[in-house]
Amino acid sequence: MNNYFNFENTYTNLPKCFFTEQGVKQVPLPDLIIFNDKLAKSLNINIPLNNKNETAKILSGNFNDKNMNTFAQAYAGHQFGHFTNLGDGRAIILGEHVSKFGKRYDIQLKGSGITPYSRQGDGKAALGPMLREYIISEAMYYLNIPTTRSLSVIKTGEDVFREKKLQGSILTRIAESHIRVGTFQYAAAQQDKKILKSLFDYTVKRHYSNIKNYENIYIELLKEFSLKQINLITNWMRVGFVHGVMNTDNMTLSGETIDYGPCAFMNNYDPNTKFSSIDHMGRYSYKNQPIIAQWNIARFAETLLPLISSNLDEAIKKAEDIIKSIPKTYKTSWLNMMKKKLGLVDNDNEDEKITNSLLSWMEENNADYTNTFVDLMNEENLSQGIYKSNEFKNWFEIYKKRKLRQNFSKSKSLKLMKENNPFVIPRNNIVEDVLLSADRGNLEPLKKFLKILENPYDKNIKISNYYKTDIKSDQPYMTYCGT
Ligand code: AMP
Ligand code: MG
């Protein structure tokens, strides 16, 4: 027996329809590609690293633990607006690890083989997409954005066939939980109030214990969940992150970003930026993210209606009041965020206009979203290139005057900007380069890049290669679902 993890199981106490217990299939040749030592230490995960083969075996789920009770979760979801029954088609939860601080995390293998929810899929994952999830999720964490984390990637020794033959891999994902809006949709579809209520109670206990004594706890959950999502989307908008597949099964009750499939970071500021190859209508484009979040939250609200009130009209009215308030709450949250990026505090009638005119200028001039804010933090950079235009100079004068009106020192304003404007993001071209090297067996560029991404707000790091980009437009950059 060992104690790599401190497993407990609570999810499997839910009604049986929520999961299928299933063992983990052995993979032929587990090979360790990357392990997140820092994350393991911070969560008190004790996986030995002295024998690479042994470590890889553990991270393929091949070990004994008396508290391990592996299972795949059932869920449903709206995919691009269409309701479907889903579930973990290529993932297995090994257990809930409880850290020494009493925090609970799902330990999940992604790419570990077929489950009863696999439908037509092979249950597998390829090296590139799993390393991509590792890079972007860790980058998000260090950008201070709620996210699932990545503990490791191993190769399985199996081939995976997509358009071509790829190297099979398993990512170990760590999440506060894998309860999704889609899990609630699945519960509601069972048309049994007891089943729905069991998921609701479980979720409150696991993620929202602060509301357990409220009178209308259902409405309170809806409010709190909306705030978590508004905070999340505001953060995505702050760093130019485009999730790419905001289906309701990819929205967590914990408020963590999940499912790094066709996501990417925007280079030039263009609100219509989208990356996913199948998102023809731009449903999940950068600018649509807050709107889709509201749509998803409305789907979540629908699942709660039978619990909110036995009078359906009354339940709808209560839920609607919250859903309708989302755009205004989001807008305030967004403007506060943009003000921080600009080093502005206090309220000034000009704030929204100043923000929007900068964004319009950026759009018209193909300005890089990240680098523009970096340059605003260093006036020396503003004497060159696109900043020489009168339009920019006029904007900058107005902005400077606005700054003088606030009761906030220059150094404090700069500090605020530095905390909110990253110097480095996982640029698409660099992500692709390091993945290509990794695929060919050279992991050094990947490891170097991950190190850089650990300090995105630190200007002192030697990041020149990562800071400037010659890419003129994101639009040819395509990412793929179902990888
Ligand atoms: P995603 O686009 O990653 O959110 O996945 C949507 C659904 O498809 C989920 O239920 C996944 O578990 C499932 N899925 C994705 N890829 C595979 C695969 N290779 N085999 C089986 N199921 C998959
Ligand atoms: Mg998903």
pLDDT tens-digit series, residues 182-229: 999 999 999 999 999 999 999 999 999 999 999 999 999 999 999 999
For residue 353, the model assigns a pLDDT of 98
In the block, tokens 């990637």 appear at 153
The H or E element spanning position 181 is helix 181-189
Q: Can you tell me the mean pLDDT for 126-143?
A: 98
| Ligand 1 centre distance from Cα of residue 477 (Å) | 22
For residue 464, the model assigns a pLDDT of 58
> Residue 269, class by beta-carbon neighbours within 10 Å (0-12 exposed, 13-18 middle, 19+ buried)?
buried
Tally of CB atoms within 10 A around 483: 17
Rg (CA), the chain: 23
| Ligand 2 centre distance from Cα of residue 274 (Å) | 18
For residue 71, the model assigns a pLDDT of 98
For residue 461, the model assigns a pLDDT of 57
CA 410 remoteness from chain centre: 33
Q: Residue 463 — very low, low, confident or very high, per pLDDT cuts 50/70/90?
A: low
Closest-CA residue, ligand 1 atom 5, reads: 482
Check: CB of residue 95 under 8 Å from CB of residue 8.
Answer: yes
Q: Can you tell me the mean pLDDT for 7-11?
A: 96
Answer whether residue 261 shows pLDDT above 80. yes
Closest-CA residue, ligand 1 atom 13, reads: 89
Check: CB of residue 200 under 8 Å from CB of residue 140.
Answer: no
For residue 277, the model assigns a pLDDT of 87
Contacts of 313 (CB under 8 A, 6+ apart): none
Q: Can you tell me the mean pLDDT for 423-441?
A: 95
For residue 482, the model assigns a pLDDT of 54
Mutate to test the pocket of ligand 1, among 108, 110, 114, 118 (most ligand atoms within 8 A of CB): 118
Considering Cα of 436, then 442, then 445, then 446, what sign does the dihedral take?
A: positive
Q: Can you tell me the mean pLDDT for 270-286?
A: 93
pLDDT digits (tens, 9 = 90+) for 353-389: 999 999 999 999 999 999 999 999 998 999 999 999 9
For residue 203, the model assigns a pLDDT of 98
The H or E element spanning position 457 is none
Percentage of the chain surpassing pLDDT 70? 95
Mutate to test the pocket of ligand 1, among 25, 86, 133 (most ligand atoms within 8 A of CB): 86
Tally of CB atoms within 10 A around 256: 22
Closest-CA residue, ligand 1 atom 12, reads: 89
Q: How far apart are CA 428 and CA 266, in angstroms?
A: 8
Q: How far apart are CA 228 and CA 193, in angstroms?
A: 25
Q: Can you tell me the mean pLDDT for 276-295?
A: 95
For residue 276, the model assigns a pLDDT of 87
With both helix axes pointing from N to C terminus, report the angle between 369-376 and 351-364 in degrees, rounded to the nearest 10: 130
> Residue 194, class by beta-carbon neighbours within 10 Å (0-12 exposed, 13-18 middle, 19+ buried)?
exposed
Q: How far apart are CA 396 and CA 338, in angstroms?
A: 16
Closest-CA residue, ligand 1 atom 14, reads: 89
Considering Cα of 222, then 228, then 234, then 237, what sign does the dihedral take?
A: negative
For residue 461 the two structure tokens come to 């790091």
Q: How far apart are CA 75 and CA 69, in angstroms?
A: 19
Answer whether residue 462 shows pLDDT above 70. no
Closest-CA residue, ligand 1 atom 8, reads: 89
Answer whether residue 423 shows pLDDT above 60. yes
| Ligand 1 centre distance from Cα of residue 244 (Å) | 15
For residue 317, the model assigns a pLDDT of 98
Closest ligand (CA of 133): 1
For residue 199, the model assigns a pLDDT of 98
- Give me the count of residues in the chain: 483
The overall average pLDDT reported for the chain is 95
CA 374 remoteness from chain centre: 23
Check: CB of residue 135 under 8 Å from CB of residue 452.
Answer: no
| Ligand 2 centre distance from Cα of residue 342 (Å) | 35
Q: Residue 465 — very low, low, confident or very high, per pLDDT cuts 50/70/90?
A: low
For residue 466, the model assigns a pLDDT of 65
Answer whether residue 471 shows pLDDT above 80. no
Q: How far, in Å, are 100, 124, 175, 186 from residue 207 at the CA level? A: 18, 30, 12, 19
List, by residue number, the catalytic residues.
249
Q: Can you tell me the mean pLDDT for 224-239?
A: 98
For residue 430 the two structure tokens come to 């660099």
Answer whether residue 410 shows pLDDT above 70. yes
Atom nearest to 125 CA in ligand 1: 19
Q: How far, in Å, are 135, 138, 160, 453 from residue 425 at the CA level? A: 10, 11, 30, 7
Atom nearest to 250 CA in ligand 1: 4
For residue 187 the two structure tokens come to 């519960």
| Ligand 2 centre distance from Cα of residue 73 (Å) | 12
Q: Can you tell me the mean pLDDT for 400-413?
A: 96
* Comparison of pLDDT for 462 and 244, the residue scoring more: 244
For ligand 1, residues with CB inside 6 Å are 86-90, 118, 121-124, 245, 249-250, 259, 261, 481-482
